[in-house]
Amino acid sequence: MNAVKKSAAAVLCLIMILSFASFLSFAQDDEYIPKEALSVNAGIEALCGQFESFTGPEKDGYAIDCKYYSPVGENDSNKYPIVIFFHGINHGESVGSQLNDSDFPYWSSSEFQARFSESGGVFILMPRAPEDKKLYWGETFISPVKAMIHSFIEEHSENVDTTSISITGSSAGGGMCWLMLDAFPGMFSCAFPLASTITPSKADIEKAKDTAIWIFASKKGRIVNYNFSTLKIWNNVTATNSRPGLCRLTSFENVHNPDGTPTSTNHHLASVITYDMHMKDESDYIEAETINGNGDKVSLTSPEGIISWISSVHSDYNGNEDRADPEYNLTFFTKINNFFKYRIFYLVQLIQDLLGL
């Protein structure tokens, strides 16, 4: 009888051990493991290697491909913001060129991901205009880009914070920011266009009155006139925006890279956001002055920069609403205008780059 009791006790003990082991295994399977992003010291090539590929659904005859970085770790239920970067002309000539020709992937480093203090990271989307087909950012791609963004949100719905979707871009990419804000007001929490080649009307700017806007421009840029374009946009932003204190204008005398060397032209502003609007040594950006929509000077002492600004603003967008401007309609004549406008702009930019202007 004692032998039977001992055997039963042994079996019971074995069952308990196996059950506990299964519990530990289950707990370990569901354990949150954060994403291990590379350090900024790994270099731009290694950081670009962290990006993956995504293509949106076809809309109006085009499917937009993009490169993206995901901050999502294993068993991760956290919500992360999205930052979308639109490249400038001549940086979308092949799949992946918008990534490999840019320094924006520095934002995928562990140091800059950590600056998104609320979430601990951010999705980075870098869509590409099909420049291999001699097509450039413009009205034609508003709906295809929107379809791509919406598809991305659906695929990553468990981890996307739809109240924090920001857009940026340089040159023609800056212009694409304004086109997206015009067509889909309320979808984006903030926008920070750089040297935008588009000068939106006051009515178009007013559609985005609840979106925080930060404009970057050079006083000496030859492609975008500071007085007739930049200041016109800024005056209309301050006159119509519901949150002028959150809107900003950064004006540069001469534009420099974060290491202090001058950029090839004063139009090339994409580099100034590489290190979160600071120099490489984290000092204040040289030859730059920032004011807000109330006319107050803004000090950008590290770590206060673009990322802290992005983190301070949110929208009420839920990812499901269309949020399209009911007056938005891409006509045949708009498509024709876009076709010629960007070819002329590309030719002007090419000539100025060749002449070193």
Per mean pLDDT, which range of 70-79, 97-106, 284-293, 336-345 is the poorest? 336-345
Tell me how far apart the alpha carbons of residues 13 and 19 are, in angstroms, rounded to a whole number. Answer: 10
pLDDT at 121 over 60: yes
- Which tokens sit at 88? 């400038």
| 213 three-class SS | strand
Contact 327, 183 (CB under 8 A): no
With tokens 């015009």, the residue in question is 182
Dihedral sign, CA of 289, 293, 298, 300?
Answer: negative
Per mean pLDDT, which range of 118-127, 134-143, 145-154, 326-335 is the poorest? 326-335
- Which tokens sit at 260? 């202090």
Size of the chain, expressed as the number of residues it contains? 357
User: pLDDT tens, 128-160?
Assistant: 999 999 999 999 999 999 999 999 999 999 999
pLDDT on residue 319: 85
Residue 191 has φ and ψ, to the nearest 5°, of -145, 140
- Which tokens sit at 67? 């490169």
pLDDT on residue 21: 45
Report the DSSP beta bridge partners of residue 52.
68
Domain parsing of the chain, residue ranges: 40-355
- Global pTM reads 0.85
Per-position b or e across 188-208, b if 16+ CB within 10 A of its CB: bbbbbbbbbbbbbeeebbbbb
DSSP single-letter state for residue 75: T
On the CB side of 189, CA atoms within 13 Å amount to 22
Stretch 17-25: mean pLDDT = 44
Tell me how far apart the alpha carbons of residues 73 and 22 are, in angstroms, rounded to a whole number. Answer: 23
- Which tokens sit at 38? 């590379």
- Edge-first strand listing for the sheet containing 65-69: 52-55, 65-69, 123-127, 80-86, 160-170, 190-194, 212-218, 248-252, 288-292
Tell me how far apart the alpha carbons of residues 317 and 324 are, in angstroms, rounded to a whole number. Answer: 12
Question: Max CA-CA distance within the chain?
Answer: 101
pLDDT at 103 over 50: yes
pLDDT on residue 119: 87
User: pLDDT tens, 261-315?
Assistant: 999 999 999 999 999 999 999 999 999 999 999 999 999 988 899 999 999 999 9
Type of residue at 128 = R
Q: What percent of the chain has pLDDT over 90?
A: 76
User: pLDDT tens, 39-65?
Assistant: 999 999 999 999 999 999 999 999 999
Superfamily holding 40-355: Alpha/Beta hydrolase fold, catalytic domain (3.40.50.1820)
pLDDT on residue 24: 41
Alpha-carbon 46 to chain mean position: 20
Residue 222 pLDDT grade (very low, low, confident, very high; cuts 50, 70, 90)? confident
pLDDT on residue 262: 95
Residues whose CB falls within 8 Å of the CB of residue 176, separated by 6 or more in sequence, listed in order: 86, 137, 138, 141, 145, 169
| 64 three-class SS | coil
